[in-house]
Amino acid sequence: MQKIFQEVGSLDKRCYEKFNLTEDILMENASIAMKDFICKNFKLHSKILIVSGVGNNGADGIVLARLLHKDFKISLFVPFGAKSPMAKLQLNRVQLIGLKLVTKIKKKYDIVVDSLFGSGLNKPLNDTSEKLITKLNLIKAYKLSCDIPSGILNNGTILSEAFKADTTITMGALKLSLFNDEVKDFVGKIVVANLGVAREVYETLTDVFLLKKSDMKLPIRTKLNSHKGVYGHTNIICGDKKGAGVISALSATAFGSGLTTIISKQNIEIPFELMQSNKLSKNVGSIAVGMGLGESLSKKELKKLLLNKTPKVCDADIFYKKIILKVLKQKNIVLTPHPKEFVALLKLTKLADITVAKLQKNRFEYALKFSKKYPNVVLLLKGANVIIAKNKNLYINSFGSNTLSKGGSGDVLTGLIASLLAQNHPPLLATFTASLAHSIASEKYKNNNYSMTPNDLIKKIKKL
């Protein structure tokens, strides 16, 4: 896992006070990181437009211009002048070496570097800034952003326009504002710049983390003397939309569940590798409920199935039913709502009565709010960046692709988590692994991104 911070100003200050590093040293290292990226990925003498703002983010861009001068064809554009002491200092330095500023933006560049605002932006762009960013986005060049694409507010929201980067080189440490769903199309690949000390030294304690692929612990079998009973028995509660339950059951089986039974009031046609019953199995290891549930079960039937100590994954329709409030009091519970379902859950739990749009702009806030009230529950909030919350900590899965934007993908995820719970994986670790497997498998799908089916996804998961 990598650490994520809501702000890094305090970390910079710590470098000044504890390590006797200056603002100038940190800035020089930030710009060296951008220079190294450009030198590694682009030919000498490429045409580079650097657009710098009035503050320290702009100063980073001005330093970059100085470092690249002569080796590249640099156009340094400072449209609003320099206001911060460091921006003025760096502008003076770059002018002393003979680099002249440009006053107009041309149409042809190989690289466009955005160092207008950075992570300190806390108010909407004015018309001039908005038009400038729009103009930069229209240039057909590789787009590189310094710290955070200009136009993204420090809370991770976009009010009007934002610079659309291919790569964002963020300074010192990862920022939470880079991982809100609505900025995913703007940040591109994220690279962390070393500011003069190792990240382990620069960073302090945090309660927000970015999952890495190595956090996925697949249920690889190592014991030779084993049988199906060793690997758990998953029960999938099947409702009105039978297909959802079948997809989850097939996913659970593919992810190692020794036995998988669909629980249904009526006999339905199922694949031969699955079992079927009208009641919970005696040796049930986990229960998955909610996928396609509809109104197929009465309150009494739901109580019989859910008010027990068996580990559970709750999804979809269950978040609209009051029985979820009793389930939340249990241990070993994982919830996997999409935004609309989470809004319904927040209302049921009396935590908030908000719109989906408001949730999407404040995903971290409401996930944390829920986690604080239900510290024993693992919440997985679906989205472009998946949020997993447990006991006041947030974990972000930024992998995955838009191939997952199709009915049935969430049912696969539910089956994966349920399978691991049945195999006695702790709920939080089961959620990490299942979410990562789900996302990474989707990235491996090589056909047209609109064509992936749940069965295609399961096939990819089998090959991880």
* pLDDT average, residue stretch 426-452: 97
| pLDDT confidence of residue 122 | 84
Assess whether 396 and 458 both reside in one domain: yes
* Cβ-based neighbours of 47, under 8 Å, separated by 6 or more: 72, 73, 75, 108, 109, 110, 111
Assess whether 153 and 278 both reside in one domain: no
* pLDDT average, residue stretch 280-303: 96
**Cβ–Cβ < 8 Å for 144, 34:** yes
Element (H, E) at 130: helix 127-138
Q: How many domains does the chain have?
A: 2
* pLDDT average, residue stretch 287-298: 95
Assess whether 310 and 247 both reside in one domain: yes
Could you tell me what percent of the chain has a pLDDT over 70? 100
Assess whether 233 and 198 both reside in one domain: no
| pLDDT confidence of residue 384 | 96
Q: How many CB atoms lie within 10 A of CB 143?
A: 22
Element (H, E) at 346: helix 339-348
| pLDDT confidence of residue 412 | 98
**Cβ–Cβ < 8 Å for 378, 334:** yes
Is residue 118 predicted with pLDDT exceeding 90? no
Fill in the amino acid letter for 415.
G
Assess whether 153 and 231 both reside in one domain: no
Write out the two tokens for 17.
């006070």
CA distance 79 to 130: 13
Answer with the one of 183, 205, 227 that is the final residue of a domain.
205
Could you tell me what percent of the chain has a pLDDT over 90? 96
* pLDDT average, residue stretch 275-298: 96
**Confidence tier at 279 by pLDDT (50, 70, 90):** very high
Q: How many CB atoms lie within 10 A of CB 352?
A: 17
Is residue 120 predicted with pLDDT exceeding 80? no
Q: How many CB atoms lie within 10 A of CB 10?
A: 10
* pLDDT average, residue stretch 127-141: 96
| pLDDT confidence of residue 400 | 86
The CATH number assigned to the domain holding 365 equals 3.40.1190.20
Assess whether 458 and 326 both reside in one domain: yes
The CATH number assigned to the domain holding 194 equals 3.40.50.10260
pLDDT one-digit tens code per residue, 407-436: 999 999 999 999 999 999 999 999 999 999
Q: Which domain holds residue 364?
A: 214-462
Answer with the one of 205, 233, 261 that is the final residue of a domain.
205
| pLDDT confidence of residue 123 | 86
Assess whether 391 and 297 both reside in one domain: yes
**Confidence tier at 124 by pLDDT (50, 70, 90):** confident
pLDDT one-digit tens code per residue, 157-185: 998 899 999 999 999 999 999 999 999 99
CA distance 459 to 453: 10
Nearest to 147 by CA among 123, 183, 181: 183
Fill in the amino acid letter for 196.
G
Is residue 274 predicted with pLDDT exceeding 80? yes
pLDDT one-digit tens code per residue, 227-255: 999 999 999 999 999 999 999 999 999 99
Assess whether 330 and 438 both reside in one domain: yes
Across the strands, what pairs with 189? Answer: 167
Write out the two tokens for 61.
């861009």
CA distance 55 to 366: 32
pLDDT one-digit tens code per residue, 372-395: 999 999 999 999 999 999 999 999
Write out the two tokens for 45.
């003498």
* pLDDT average, residue stretch 275-293: 96
Answer with the one of 205, 228, 251 that is the final residue of a domain.
205
Assess whether 192 and 247 both reside in one domain: no
| pLDDT confidence of residue 107 | 85
Assess whether 347 and 270 both reside in one domain: yes
| pLDDT confidence of residue 121 | 84
DSSP class of residue 208 equals: E
Average pLDDT for the chain: 96
**Cβ–Cβ < 8 Å for 398, 210:** yes
Assess whether 127 and 238 both reside in one domain: no
Nearest to 237 by CA among 193, 182, 206, 276: 276
| pLDDT confidence of residue 159 | 83
Assess whether 113 and 251 both reside in one domain: no
